[in-house]
């Protein structure tokens, strides 16, 4: 039986951060341009606050101009839209991210679609979704999580996935659908599975590349994994565990990591896999947005 490798997303993200920092230094020196990222958070969701803090810290470590706008949970939709409009007009800001989820009284689509496509570093604007769906992956701003997953898949399998079968479990707009578009653009044969799929274990066992993005702790069992497959675990689930009579919370993915590792060629861990790669892709998108704003190509 094969025993796979643990894919070190944290190390790969650190490597990319070094490259982004030096490209940012060169951009400042040669063009007097500093990439600017604005993150907007509405309300007090604790997980969102952790993500936003990480994004700000990483942006600063890459040498970006980084601003965070924290708005109270009862902020009106009109005020959030006004904030987005102001950031759209701000020449020091090249990337805008409104952290999701938003409070129930705010229409997420209305807010997401108000961000200028050229500042849409999340890749959620219909213009960017459309470019990606049309296979124009080079021109689109690609959502950060699937973009990071794709780099890790390429490290394992190569850029051309001809002949490979990929199964994406989860059909969200943030992960599942764009992930499927990227895999398809790389010539994989792609299936999107979801909660209504029949015989999910059997389908997963056909996957050379298995991407789990369902948000259910360790739902994908080790014996669902095809021997030699590459497994990408997008799930970040907080579960309560009891240790020595004490209850504490622990992060776990959508995949039974040890079980998958026994059969796969490589598996991403949680934490330390997809998460750090997601954040660094946001920096990569912001650097690119800054360059494009000044007419400097990639």
Binding footprint of ligand GUN on the chain (CB under 6 A): 97-100, 122, 144-145, 174
- For residues 190 and 274, which CB has a smaller minimum distance to ligand GUN in the complex? 274
119-133 b/e (C-beta count within 10 Å ≥ 16 → b) = bbbbbbbebbbebbb
Q: At closest approach, how far in Å is the CB of 207 from ligand GUN?
A: 24
Residue 98's DSSP bridge partners are 40
- For residues 183 and 274, which CB has a smaller minimum distance to ligand GUN in the complex? 274
- For residues 122 and 218, which CB has a smaller minimum distance to ligand GUN in the complex? 122
Residue 246's DSSP bridge partners are 243
Q: Measured at CB, which residue is nearest to ligand GUN?
A: 100
Contact between residue 127 and residue 67 where contact means Cβ atoms under 8 Å apart: no
End-to-end CA distance of the chain: 43
Assigned token pair, 120: 């849409």
Between CA 26 and CA 28 the distance in angstroms is 5
Catalytic hit among 119, 120, 122, 156:
122
Q: Does the annotation count 55 as an active-site position?
A: yes
- For residues 217 and 222, which CB has a smaller minimum distance to ligand GUN in the complex? 217
Q: At closest approach, how far in Å is the CB of 97 from ligand GUN?
A: 5
Q: At closest approach, how far in Å is the CB of 58 from ligand GUN?
A: 13
Q: Does the annotation count 226 as an active-site position?
A: no
Assigned token pair, 113: 């679609």
Q: At closest approach, how far in Å is the CB of 40 from ligand GUN?
A: 9
Radius of gyration from C-alpha coordinates of the chain: 19
Give the residue from 112, 99, 87 showing the smallest Cα distance to 49: 99
Q: At closest approach, how far in Å is the CB of 271 from ligand GUN?
A: 15
Contact between residue 217 and residue 252 where contact means Cβ atoms under 8 Å apart: yes
Assigned token pair, 217: 């702790």
Q: Does the annotation count 34 as an active-site position?
A: no
Q: At closest approach, how far in Å is the CB of 79 from ligand GUN?
A: 18
- For residues 24 and 278, which CB has a smaller minimum distance to ligand GUN in the complex? 278
Between CA 205 and CA 194 the distance in angstroms is 15
Q: Position of tokens 């399998």? A: 157
Catalytic hit among 55, 119, 164, 226:
55
- Preceding omega of 101 cis (within 30 degrees of 0): yes
- For residues 27 and 114, which CB has a smaller minimum distance to ligand GUN in the complex? 114
**Widest pairwise Cα distance in the chain:** 60
**Active-site amino acid positions:** 55, 99, 122
């Amino acid at each position: 039986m094969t025993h796979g490798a643990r894919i070190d997303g944290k190390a790969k993200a650190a490597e990319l951060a070094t490259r982004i920092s030096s490209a940012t230094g060169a951009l400042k020196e040669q063009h007097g341009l500093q990439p600017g990222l604005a993150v907007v958070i509405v309300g007090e969701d604790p997980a969102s606050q952790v993500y936003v803090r990480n994004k700000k810290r990483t942006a600063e470590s890459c040498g970006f101009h980084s601003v965070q706008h924290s708005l109270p949970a009862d902020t009106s939709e009109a005020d959030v839209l006004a904030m987005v409009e102001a950031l759209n007009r701000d020449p020091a800001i090249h990337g805008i991210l409104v952290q999701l989820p938003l409070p129930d009284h705010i229409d997420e689509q209305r807010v997401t679609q108000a961000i200028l496509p050229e500042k849409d570093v999340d890749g959620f604007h219909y213009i960017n979704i459309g470019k990606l769906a049309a296979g124009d992956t080079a021109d689109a701003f690609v959502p950060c999580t699937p973009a990071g997953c794709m780099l890790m898949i390429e490290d394992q399998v190569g850029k051309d996935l001809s002949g490979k079968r990929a199964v994406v479990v989860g059909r969200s707009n943030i992960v599942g659908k764009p992930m499927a578009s990227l895999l398809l653009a790389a010539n994989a044969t792609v299936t999107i599975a979801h909660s209504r799929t029949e015989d999910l274990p059997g389908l997963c066992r056909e996957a050379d590349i298995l991407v789990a993005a369902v948000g259910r702790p360790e739902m994908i069992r080790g014996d669902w994994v095809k021997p030699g497959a590459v497994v990408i675990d997008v799930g970040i689930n907080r579960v309560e565990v009891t240790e020595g009579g004490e209850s504490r919370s622990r992060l776990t993915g959508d995949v039974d990591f040890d079980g998958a590792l026994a059969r796969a060629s490589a598996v991403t861990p949680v934490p330390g896999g997809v998460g750090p790669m997601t954040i660094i892709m946001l920096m990569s998108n912001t650097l690119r947005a800054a360059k494009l704003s000044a007419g400097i190509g990639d």
